């Protein structure tokens, strides 16, 4: 169903489009996995339009609206398997529901644009067309504007996994009380793309450090990769347990815990046999890494406040940069002394 590679011919009668059966195959599953590691970025798209699941198209079945991000449509389709339903995929430039609505791309205008492509009698037998909106689309969709256009919008659940239960309870209600929760399940979902994003950069850093090690024998290079993975995993998993409400403050506390570990090793155990320059490198790299990941996690999380994040970035990004400069100075000093 990848809109980039497969574009099924648009069947039209008298200039109006017809609904298509929504089907996904094994390749789509692989595409979803790939999109997941790409941190929800634009990867594959679904051609906008009206689709249906189940045996046949039926205008009496629920009409759900979603974005044309491949992963979103796939997950919705999976939840609707074995059920007669309709899906109106709107053009959000291949971006997921929440991100596209936040930017105004998932809007009442885009919904109307797709609806107008189809014969009204194909969509509804009454004068009002009932559609089900994802709750997270409401930062881009004006309910009043839809009503003015003869649409009766129902606000559906936040998550696709709750769609089945929602559709089973007729008559359909507005899920106003359904709230977004940044649960462990949600956070673990963000762990894979977060690791994919950060490990890539840590490998680049490790490669640079390895070059310096070949020249000077510092013995510090690959260690930054598992250290980065540790920072990311601990931050994501422990997110609500870390002290503070702001991202950077949580990162700072995580770095204190990690630094305490390094300092304890230096002072008491010597398991890793770190000298003073190495200790300084690890402390500054770990603290800078914790802060940087904390700031970058704002984009992957679903709980970041624009104004507060902006303040955090202005306050903590220079500190993060200074810590990385200190780490570079420490490793240079260690190499030169060796």
Binding site for another protein (CB under 8 A): 38-42, 93-96, 99-105, 135-136, 138-144, 155, 158, 174, 176, 179-180, 245, 295-296, 298-299, 302-310, 313-314, 317
Minimum distance of another protein from residue 86's CB (angstroms): 24
Q: Which residues contact 13 (CB under 8 A, 6 or more apart)?
A: none
Minimum distance of another protein from residue 306's CB (angstroms): 4
Minimum distance of another protein from residue 214's CB (angstroms): 33
Q: Which residue, 81 or 181, is less far from another protein as judged by CB?
A: 181
Q: Which residue, 30 or 308, is less far from another protein as judged by CB?
A: 308
C-alpha–C-alpha distance, residues 22 and 36, integer Å: 21
What burial class does residue 268 get, using C-beta atoms within 10 Å of its C-beta: 0-12 exposed, 13-18 middle, 19+ buried?
exposed
Nearest to 296 by CA among 304, 285, 307: 304
Retrieve residue 189's tokens. Answer: 């979902």
DSSP-assigned letters across all residues of 82-96: TS-EEEEE--STT--
Q: Which residue, 93 or 130, is less far from another protein as judged by CB?
A: 93
C-alpha–C-alpha distance, residues 220 and 60, integer Å: 65
Q: Which residue, 135 or 187, is less far from another protein as judged by CB?
A: 135
Nearest to 225 by CA among 243, 191, 261, 200: 200
**Counts for the chain of helices (H) and strands (E), in that order:** 12, 8
Q: Which residue, 81 or 310, is less far from another protein as judged by CB?
A: 310
């Amino acid at each position: 169903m990848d809109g980039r590679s497969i574009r099924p011919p648009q069947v039209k009668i008298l200039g109006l489009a017809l609904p298509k059966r929504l089907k996904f195959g094994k390749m789509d599953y692989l595409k979803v996995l790939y999109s997941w590691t790409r941190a929800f970025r634009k990867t594959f798209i679904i051609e906008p339009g009206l689709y249906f699941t189940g045996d046949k198209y039926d205008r009496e079945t629920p009409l759900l609206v979603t974005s044309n991000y491949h992963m979103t449509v796939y997950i919705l389709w999976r939840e609707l398997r074995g059920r007669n339903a309709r899906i109106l995929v709107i053009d959000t430039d291949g971006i997921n529901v929440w991100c596209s609505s936040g930017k105004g791309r998932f809007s009442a205008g885009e919904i109307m644009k797709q609806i107008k492509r189809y014969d009204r009698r194909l969509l509804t037998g009454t004068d009002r067309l009932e559609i089900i909106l994802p709750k997270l689309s409401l930062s881009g969709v004006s309910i009043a504007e839809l009503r003015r256009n003869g649409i009766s919008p129902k606000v559906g659940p936040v998550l696709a996994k709750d769609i089945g239960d929602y559709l089973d309870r007729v008559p359909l209600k507005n899920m106003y009380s359904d709230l977004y929760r940044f649960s462990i399940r949600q956070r673990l979902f963000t762990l894979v793309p977060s690791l994919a994003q950060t490990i890539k950069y840590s490998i680049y850093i490790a490669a640079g450090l390895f070059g310096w090690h070949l020249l000077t024998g510092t013995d510090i290079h690959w260690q930054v990769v598992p250290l980065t993975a540790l920072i990311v995993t601990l931050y994501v998993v422990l997110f609500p347990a870390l002290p503070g409400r702001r991202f950077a403050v949580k990162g700072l506390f995580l770095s204190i815990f990690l630094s305490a570990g390094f300092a304890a090793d230096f002072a008491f155990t010597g398991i890793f046999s770190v000298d003073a320059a190495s200790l300084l490198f690890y402390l500054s790299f770990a603290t800078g890494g914790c802060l940087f990941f904390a700031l970058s996690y704002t984009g992957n999380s679903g709980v970041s406040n624009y104004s507060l994040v902006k303040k955090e970035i202005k306050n903590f990004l220079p500190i993060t940069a200074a810590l990385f400069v200190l780490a570079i100075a420490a490793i240079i000093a260690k190499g030169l002394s060796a």
